[in-house]
Structure 1
Amino acid sequence: SRHPRRRALSLVFALAALLGGFGVWALYGSNWLLVERVSVSGNEVLTEKQVRDAAGIPVGTPLLSVDRTAAERRLKARLPRLDNIDVVRAWPHGIGLKVIERKPELVMKRDGNFVEVDDEGVRFAVVPKQPKGVPLLAMEVKRSASLRHFGSARLRREAVDVADSLPESVARDTRTVRVRSYDSVTLELTGGRTVLWGSGEQGAAKAKSLTALMKAAKGAEHFDVSVPSAPAASGS
């Protein structure tokens, strides 16, 4: 009785090995599960071709052998505009590139072009025209002790924090965010109006104070909310 049992077990193992080999061949060696398309979603400024080319996933590659982590690294390195990337397999024949692009909060002038700065103060792209509704960031900190102490990246983040704190009505009218030091950020608005904001600290209190001040002094041109508990307005 043992011999038939052994033969049965041998048959089971042989069948398992055969199926295992078939499975490996089906996944890696056959034409059944090859990449036939690479789709892109979430892109707004970048074209689908730019994203596909940067990912470097060739059509015809076995789907299971696609190194998603490596593709994500290539996308990050080649397309700094991308903030978040997810490479997914779409069985049986697709790869999906799901991306989120960085949004410009401010722009900086450079050699006739504009450098886009995101909500973390990261410079991520150069464009020929200033994006509509995005204020200019003017960094005037070359001789400032703040530059040595904080560094330019931190000062850019400070400027972005100020822009993010603005009341919606003020944000719409803001044309330039001028940074002279960590404690000296000034907004230049339409109509020649200015706002001395100070540092990026106490943003919510300063926004509330500025809204009230602008309502109370409608003809004023210059507003100071650097100390939100003691705002001031001047000029007419």
Structure 2
Amino acid sequence: MAGAVREKAAAGREERGAGAGPGRPPAAGRPAGRRTRKLRLPSRRVLLAALLAAVVLGGFSGWALYGSNWLRVEQVTVSGTDVLSTGEVLDAAGVFEGAPMATVDTAAVEARLAAELRRIDTVDVDRVWPHRITVKVTERKPAVLLRKGETFVEVDDGGVRFATVRTAPENVPMAEMRVADSPSLDRFGRQRLRESAVRVAGALSESVRRDTRTILVRSYDSVTLELTGGRTVLWGSAERGGAKSKALAAVMKAERDARYFDVSVPSAPAASAS
């Protein structure tokens, strides 16, 4: 009987302590050992101070860039010119000393230079803070010349006619068109036939180009080179220029006394004394 009473009392104690002991599991949805923290926003005074600082900094930056004398153009330099003068480039660029550096639109300056000076092939305009603008120019090089009355029109290797000069530059061949009676004129047009001369000039080796006085175009398939020393080269069409240039170099080396060369079929070049 006493044992039954003791067991009943122990059971009662277990029931009373079931929800309060150290082994009590955490309540559902609440991580053990973690406290909830509230997000504290900056005070209104801090926000106003930050806003005021941003406004002041922005205003100062704008004044430094546009209103002060600290960041203004003091020098414009030009490089890469050969035929063009520095003065011509500066006049076309239109960048003036004393202008705020930030107001110089480099892309617009590049476009203006390319439009006003056709001799310019590429141009790169950069700001060099705090006071300098650089203009780097690459000029077009004439591949052939076209006679125009008493002057000469320079044409680059892209077929662009970029300048008219009174004195022909040295070592640049003259392109001569004799296509009035050629059926090629109706089929291809004068511009494309003129481009044939440019393509041929571009395929010549440096030594042959220096010796070439005239590139004579009679038709699309008949282009002839007139060299120094009374030598003549039948080139054919402007196609396969690289192969023809190699064939010409080889046959000239093999036949040093020849005055006539035929590389119209580059796999079978020919040469003769007359």
Normalising by the residue count of structure 1, what TM-score does the alignment of the two structures yield?
Answer: 0.91
Is the counterpart of residue 107 in structure 1 residue 145 in structure 2? yes
Match of 1:59 among 77, 93, 97: 97
What is the match of residue 73 of structure 1?
111
Match of 1:8 among 36, 41, 46: 46
Q: How many angstroms apart in 2 are the aligned matches of 1:75 and 1:139?
A: 32
What is the match of residue 168 of structure 2?
130
Is the counterpart of residue 41 in structure 1 residue 79 in structure 2? yes
Corresponding residue SS for 2:234: strand
**Offset at 1:188?**
0.1
2:145, 2:172 within 8 Å by CA — same for their partners in 1? yes
**Offset at 1:214?**
2.5
Match of 1:226 among 250, 254, 264: 264
Match of 2:222 among 184, 202, 208: 184
**Offset at 1:161?**
2.0
2:172, 2:209 within 8 Å by CA — same for their partners in 1? no
What is the match of residue 29 of structure 1?
67
1:122, 1:153 within 8 Å by CA — same for their partners in 2? no
Is the counterpart of residue 172 in structure 1 residue 201 in structure 2? no
For residues 22-79 of structure 1, the C-alpha deviation after alignment (integer angstroms, 9 at most, x for no partner) is: 1011111111111122111111111111001001112221111112222112111110
What is the match of residue 206 of structure 1?
244
User: Which amino acid in 1 is paired with 2:146?
Assistant: M
The number of residue pairs the alignment matches comes to 235
Q: Kindly tell me: are residues 145 and 219 of structure 1, through their superposed partners in 2, closer, same or farther at Cα, counting changes over 3 Å? A: same
**Offset at 1:194?**
0.7
Structure with the larger RCO, 1 or 2 (CA within 8 Å, 6+ apart): 1
Q: Kindly tell me: are residues 151 and 38 of structure 1, through their superposed partners in 2, closer, same or farther at Cα, counting changes over 3 Å? A: farther
**Offset at 1:145?**
3.5
Stretches (4+) displaced over 4 A? none
Match of 1:160 among 159, 173, 198: 198
RMSD over aligned Cα, in angstroms?
Answer: 2.0
Flag structure 1 segments of 5+ consecutive residues without an equivalent. none
More deviation, 140-149/224-233: 140-149
More deviation, 195-204/148-157: 148-157
Q: How many angstroms apart in 1 are the aligned matches of 2:99 and 2:222?
A: 55
2:121, 2:138 within 8 Å by CA — same for their partners in 1? yes
Normalising by the residue count of structure 2, what TM-score does the alignment of the two structures yield?
Answer: 0.79
What is the match of residue 149 of structure 1?
187
1:198, 1:226 within 8 Å by CA — same for their partners in 2? yes
User: Which amino acid in 2 is paired with 1:174?
Assistant: T
**Offset at 1:164?**
2.3
